[in-house]
């Protein structure tokens, strides 16, 4: 029974570990949120780029209109002509600044796009790995559960064969010490390493239920 209980303990431990691993999707969630935030950044940068392009078109349109006025010959007043020339100059300098900004924004969009692509691939890879792992773990979980059910059945069968008083003692020690039955090796209890008396050793060898004087564990020779 001690053997079965130890196996049950090990099985339960492994089952807990497998269940922990099954529910652990931290890496996947982290990769997903990284990707989502990069996509958001990308949308933002694209919006800025669009705005900048519209502004630029607007300025170019303004310059075109003034140029028309200047060269169509409809404006004859020299003062007004000078003013229009000045206006064109201002707009042209704005266009130049805007073009530089637009180039910067475009390269920013490209950069974020590349990053988001890498993150997307990384996320897909992690997801595939995670799904495969889930399958393996689910399989292992089923195996352990079957093993545990068999062990419990064996244990129930054994419990019916053991004298109830002895079983009580066994359960009490197991509760206290974890392992209730220990071997005697080279005359020492393997639970606490204290020397076992010869008479105890002999009785245990004969099959009596003998407990260690020091740690109370049941001695098995």
Backbone angles phi, psi at 77, to 5 degrees: -65, 115
Total binding residues for Zn ion by CB under 5 A?
6
Q: What is the DSSP string of 11-50?
A: HHHHHHHHHHHHH--HHHHHHHHHHHHHHHHHHHHHHHHH
Note whether 192 binds Zn ion by CB under 5 A: yes
- Residue 189 interacting with Zn ion (CB under 5 A): yes
Q: Which stretch binds Zn ion (CB under 5 A): 32-40, 105-113, 182-190, 199-207?
A: 182-190
Choose the binding region for Zn ion from 38-46, 152-160, 167-175, 189-197 (rule: CB under 5 A). Answer: 189-197
Q: Residue 86 or 193: which CB sits closer to Zn ion? A: 193
197 touches Zn ion (CB under 5 A): no
- Asked if 191 interacts with Zn ion (CB under 5 A), we say yes
| Closest approach of Zn ion to the CB of residue 216, in Å | 7
Decide if residue 212 touches Zn ion (CB under 5 A).
Answer: yes
Q: Which of 90, 96, 69, 99 shows the shortest CA–CA distance to 81?
A: 69
Residues 6+ apart with CB under 8 A from 121: none
Taking alpha carbons only, the member of 219, 201, 209 closest to residue 168 is 209
Q: Name the residue nearer to Zn ion (CB basis): 151 or 212.
A: 212
The answer to whether residue 210 forms part of the interface with Zn ion (CB under 5 A) is no
> CA separation (Å) from 13 to 20, 70, 78, 139?
11, 88, 95, 16
Residues that bind Zn ion (CB under 5 A): 189, 191-192, 212, 214-215
């Amino acid at each position: 029974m001690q053997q079965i209980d130890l196996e049950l303990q090990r099985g339960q431990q492994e089952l807990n570990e497998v269940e922990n691993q099954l529910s652990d999707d931290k890496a996947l969630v982290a990769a997903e949120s990284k990707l989502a935030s990069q996509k958001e950044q990308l949308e933002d940068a694209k919006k800025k780029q669009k705005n900048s392009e519209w502004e630029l078109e607007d300025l170019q349109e303004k310059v075109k209109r003034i140029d028309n006025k200047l060269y169509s010959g409809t404006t004859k007043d020299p003062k007004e002509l000078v003013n229009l020339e000045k206006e064109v100059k201002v707009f042209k300098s704005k266009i130049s600044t805007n073009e530089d900004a637009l180039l910067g924004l475009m390269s920013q969009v490209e950069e974020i796009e590349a990053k988001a692509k890498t993150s997307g691939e990384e996320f897909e890879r992690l997801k595939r790995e995670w799904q495969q792992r889930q399958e393996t773990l689910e399989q292992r979980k089923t195996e352990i559960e079957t093993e545990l059910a068999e062990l419990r059945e064996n244990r129930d069968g054994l419990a019916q064969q053991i004298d109830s008083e002895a079983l009580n003692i066994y359960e009490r020690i197991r509760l206290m010490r974890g392992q209730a039955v220990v071997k005697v090796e080279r005359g020492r209890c393997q639970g606490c390493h204290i020397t076992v008396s010869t008479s105890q050793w002999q009785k245990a060898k004969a099959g009596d239920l003998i407990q260690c004087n020091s740690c109370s564990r049941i001695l098995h020779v």
